[in-house]
Chains A and B, each alone.
Chain A
């Protein structure tokens, strides 16, 4: 193990030296041109999942708007809850613009939690695009709740939630329920949110959340039949860094509002800070496109320009909603703000979450 990491480090040093020479030569080239080149877009997840679909949707548009129209291929490198492919990128990608990375909430979470498998550092990279998404929590009418006004009824009841794991995106609802003082029994080992929804439909669990598109397609019919009651959305981050209602669900309050309904004051304190950090990392800034360490300013600008052009492409505007849901992907300042908010956490807040996961859910991260 040590030998392996030593050679890796040695190799890393060589790469750093090589990339230094490259960046030195870069300013001479005024214009970046990718004609005839192939750009590998590393996706640290398997084929067919959300991140893969997201990248495959975006790839042809990126190809169309990068100078020289390079071929953009999606390279799946799954494993280790996305840490493997991301480590590979951190270790090997050269800052020549030919290798880019697509991350997701599951890449941000282990980084924020200090998972020992993480050997990547977000702050080394340049994030050129961020794709937000949203989620909605809902409960079964068997809880006696008919609308969010009845939220007080949920306190003191035994609620059951089907979870994919305490360190997955389900950490966000877990922290939210905690802030609201719900007594939730988490049953782990679910393969995905779809399986959790199935358990909800069977009546095995009475509280659940789904990402926006899954909620619209699969839970809305249940709401219409009176078999599910929407509670709140995770909200979106505005330009000033304030959580706002999700425009997809304008009638649903966000956790911050529900917290006030329950506790009579705006949320604050380390638990809320933790919720906010993981909520942004998991939803508002879920998908990120990163260039490796050492990418020149020209290169970053080239990619930003490409994304600006993608967002104005009429075909993109026509199709993105069906494939990705109604959340607008962003670049430039907005992307930077989301990137910063989604990849930083106060060390004390992190320690508190890690400690909570260890004592209550037997999660051991620092082995």
Chain B
């Protein structure tokens, strides 16, 4: 055993190994900073160099790349409210409000330091765990995995915001959107309406961007100022590190959660950040400010998502089952290098396994260290007037969205989910609840079906299932006591205090917009129910139950909206708040139209031409920038996108023009 450790250590601590790892880290950092680009883009950049390299060196480079992605995507989450990848969606909830408060540097350094600690703890946990991992992983059958999905769904109780009824309805919305595409049990296609794009289901990254990034951009455009409310960046990076040190116990717990959940194949890394975030909300007693810029809401998901990568290595190495996108890339790279995953990785190749696990930890340290250094200069972005930043951000989210399947449909769905996100935000429908439902829809359905097939309903009496059930029950109980609220009770009272009249008629007048939104949601559930009735029993049972539950809860929301007292928690409209605060706001439609403009131009003339036209139009008409400024910014953004695209050999979605004429790259 000791000599295995020593061999692995000797492998890692050579200058060559560290050098190649650093190359991987730097490449990964440059790519990961860009939302939507991740390990996959990095790999295609790196593959040509892997040839002829010595196995451990090539491996070091690959690991450097994989390790830094969940760290570097935090930049976009915190600074712009754009979830860079599925691993940093929960970070947006508190990271972005901190940036708005002028604490971007603090939030970033806390995130990176938490990532660093998380990665290291993950490696420590794994060093011991790797030896018993095979039986433990095998103990998680479909029954346990189903129960774990239920546990994930129970986090909705914590993240539901002011109104639990709306939380459940939003979660059901996510479950139905998540069930679009092939049914796991029968393969029949649900709610595809003959559209090719929907056959594969909607990509997670688009849901994340639409729900979180688009509404923030729209809101900032309406307010017309810089992201940070203050003109200086008050708290620096030292505060962030101190925050992590102060919350060392939380960091430790979340790292452990991340490593263990990451190690279970099938659940995927996509919910780890939410589970960690929910755990923080449940367990933090002292002055919780979650949802409004609580640094612990940044520390928890960030420490978990880096530890998760280490955990994800186990099923990849031991069983050849990649836990997520980054691990799939890593697995492909390993096979190219001639390393085959399998039981030998804990046998004759154990030293190689340790080399990989510890390299990952080391790469985490290098990556997080670099990111901390970059935090201060990059945070200055939040001081730029938003009208100059906005076209970049709109371009970035469109660019990130079409990384999903590289088609125009990505942008159209982005716009649609963006509109949904804007109104969910306005009417206090919790977006995290929808996201959790979406992420877990397929898993919950698949594992329930498989568990019943394999074990019958007796699967509920399996020991593992009972244990997870107990944890879930405890979590729900804790969660109901400590729910994240986007507004305080005082704010809720203030909102509608101006409306002194009561009774249904007055309610309908005051809450007309909210009622219309709830009716639209109800109609969507009706479509879901209608569609599921066309399917066979196994294909219909899950969406039918979920859509019915969603319809019932939405109906409840409607009833409460119509007959509820003026200060009832179910009623929420940020427009009223803004009005009562007297903030001048531009129209929501205007802001959304700008996003729509880029999408429409792309549909006509392809992305690159659309980008240039959009930049000129926005900067001249909306930002009222001078021609010189317009030229510089347009050329800068286009040049950057082109450089990136040519380095990564990327194609842009084409429009009508490309359908009619064959144009040279980059217009093709």
Bound: A213/B340 CA distance, A? 8
Which residues in B have their C-beta under 8 angstroms from that of A189?
A: 184-185, 445-446, 449-450
The one of A1, A84, A218, A362 in contact with B539, judged by C-beta atoms closer than 8 angstroms, is: A362
Assess whether A166 is interfacial by the CB under 8 Å rule.
yes
Which residues in A have their C-beta under 8 angstroms from that of B322?
A: 48
Assess whether A352 is interfacial by the CB under 8 Å rule.
no
A195-B265 contact in complex given A53-B332, A221-B343, C-beta closer than 8 Å: yes
One digit per residue, 1 when the CB lies within 8 angstroms of any chain B CB and 0 when it does not, for chain A 157-198 equals: 000100001110000000000000000010111111011011
Which residues in A have their C-beta under 8 angstroms from that of B341?
A: 217-218
Assess whether A366 is interfacial by the CB under 8 Å rule.
no
The one of A8, A218, A319 in contact with B342, judged by C-beta atoms closer than 8 angstroms, is: A218
Instruction: Establish whether residues A15 and B662, one from each chain, have CB atoms under 8 Å apart when the complex forms.
Output: yes
A52-B450 contact in complex given A60-B51, A188-B186, A204-B142, C-beta closer than 8 Å: no
Which residues in A have their C-beta under 8 angstroms from that of B336?
A: 53, 56-57, 323
One digit per residue, 1 when the CB lies within 8 angstroms of any chain B CB and 0 when it does not, for chain A 47-67 equals: 111001100110010000000
A52-B185 contact in complex given A204-B454, A217-B340, A217-B341, C-beta closer than 8 Å: no
Which residues in B have their C-beta under 8 angstroms from that of A197?
A: 319
Assess whether B335 is interfacial by the CB under 8 Å rule.
yes
Instruction: Establish whether residues A363 and B187, one from each chain, have CB atoms under 8 Å apart when the complex forms.
Output: yes
Central interface residue in A160, A166, A167, A190, by most chain B CB within 10 Å: A190
Bound: A120/B611 CA distance, A? 32
Within 8 A of A (CB), among B252-307: 265-266
Task: Report the stretch among B41-49, B83-91, B552-560 that lies at the interface.
Answer: B41-49
Instruction: Establish whether residues A187 and B319, one from each chain, have CB atoms under 8 Å apart when the complex forms.
Output: no
Task: Report the stretch among A27-35, A71-79, A295-303 that lies at the interface.
Answer: A71-79
Instruction: Establish whether residues A75 and B651, one from each chain, have CB atoms under 8 Å apart when the complex forms.
Output: yes
Task: Output the least CB separation between B458 and chain A (Å).
Answer: 14
The one of B186, B332, B407, B446 in contact with A363, judged by C-beta atoms closer than 8 angstroms, is: B186
The one of B141, B187, B199 in contact with A361, judged by C-beta atoms closer than 8 angstroms, is: B187
Assess whether B196 is interfacial by the CB under 8 Å rule.
yes
One digit per residue, 1 when the CB lies within 8 angstroms of any chain A CB and 0 when it does not, for chain B 419-459 equals: 00000000000000000000000000110011001100000
The one of A7, A52, A202 in contact with B656, judged by C-beta atoms closer than 8 angstroms, is: A7
Query: How many A-B pairs with Cβ below 8 Å?
Result: 155
Question: Chain A: which residue is nearest B186 at the CB level?
Answer: A362
Bound: A323/B337 CA distance, A? 7
Instruction: Establish whether residues A214 and B320, one from each chain, have CB atoms under 8 Å apart when the complex forms.
Output: yes
Task: Output the least CB separation between B31 and chain A (Å).
Answer: 13
Which residues in B have their C-beta under 8 angstroms from that of A351?
A: none
Task: Output the least CB separation between B601 and chain A (Å).
Answer: 18
Which residues in B have their C-beta under 8 angstroms from that of A8?
A: 659
Assess whether A24 is interfacial by the CB under 8 Å rule.
no
Task: Output the least CB separation between B320 and chain A (Å).
Answer: 5
The one of A188, A194, A204, A363 in contact with B141, judged by C-beta atoms closer than 8 angstroms, is: A204
Instruction: Establish whether residues B194 and A192, one from each chain, have CB atoms under 8 Å apart when the complex forms.
Output: no
A48-B43 contact in complex given A84-B405, A363-B187, C-beta closer than 8 Å: yes
A80-B199 contact in complex given A7-B656, A47-B332, A48-B322, C-beta closer than 8 Å: yes
Central interface residue in B195, B196, B321, B407, by most chain A CB within 10 Å: B196
Bound: A73/B662 CA distance, A? 21
Task: Output the least CB separation between B265 and chain A (Å).
Answer: 7
Bound: A119/B330 CA distance, A? 33
Task: Output the least CB separation between B350 and chain A (Å).
Answer: 14
Instruction: Establish whether residues B196 and A80, one from each chain, have CB atoms under 8 Å apart when the complex forms.
Output: yes
Which residues in A have their C-beta under 8 angstroms from that of B343?
A: 218, 221
Assess whether B536 is interfacial by the CB under 8 Å rule.
yes
Question: Chain A: which residue is nearest B322 at the CB level?
Answer: A48
Instruction: Establish whether residues A221 and B342, one from each chain, have CB atoms under 8 Å apart when the complex forms.
Output: yes
Bound: A69/B624 CA distance, A? 50
Assess whether B200 is interfacial by the CB under 8 Å rule.
yes
Which residues in A have their C-beta under 8 angstroms from that of B539?
A: 362
Assess whether B344 is interfacial by the CB under 8 Å rule.
yes
The one of A10, A194, A205, A217 in contact with B344, judged by C-beta atoms closer than 8 angstroms, is: A217
Instruction: Establish whether residues A188 and B328, one from each chain, have CB atoms under 8 Å apart when the complex forms.
Output: no
Task: Output the least CB separation between B542 and chain A (Å).
Answer: 11
Assess whether A322 is interfacial by the CB under 8 Å rule.
yes
Which residues in B have their C-beta under 8 angstroms from that of A213?
A: 340
Bound: A347/B138 CA distance, A? 44
Bound: A367/B331 CA distance, A? 37
Instruction: Establish whether residues B196 and A48, one from each chain, have CB atoms under 8 Å apart when the complex forms.
Output: no
Which residues in B have their C-beta under 8 angstroms from that of A10?
A: 659-660
Within 8 A of B (CB), among A2-59: 7-8, 10-11, 14-15, 18, 38, 40, 46-49, 52-53, 56-57
Q: Can you give 30 A-B contacts (C-beta < 8 A)? A: A1-B195, A7-B656, A10-B659, A18-B662, A38-B649, A48-B329, A53-B332, A53-B335, A53-B336, A57-B336, A73-B649, A77-B406, A84-B196, A84-B405, A187-B449, A188-B184, A188-B187, A189-B446, A189-B449, A189-B450, A190-B450, A194-B319, A195-B265, A198-B265, A199-B141, A218-B319, A221-B342, A322-B338, A362-B538, A367-B194
Interface residues of B (CB under 8 A from A): 40, 43-44, 47-48, 51, 137-138, 141-142, 182, 184-189, 194-196, 199-200, 265-266, 319-322, 325, 328-333, 335-336, 338, 340-344, 405-407, 445-446, 449-450, 453-454, 536, 538-539, 649, 651, 656, 659-662
Interface residues of A (CB under 8 A from B): 1, 7-8, 10-11, 14-15, 18, 38, 40, 46-49, 52-53, 56-57, 60, 73-80, 84, 94, 117, 160, 165-167, 185, 187-192, 194-195, 197-199, 201-202, 204-205, 213-214, 216-218, 221, 319, 322-323, 361-364, 367
CB-based closest 4 A-B pairs: A189-B184, A48-B328, A322-B338, A48-B332
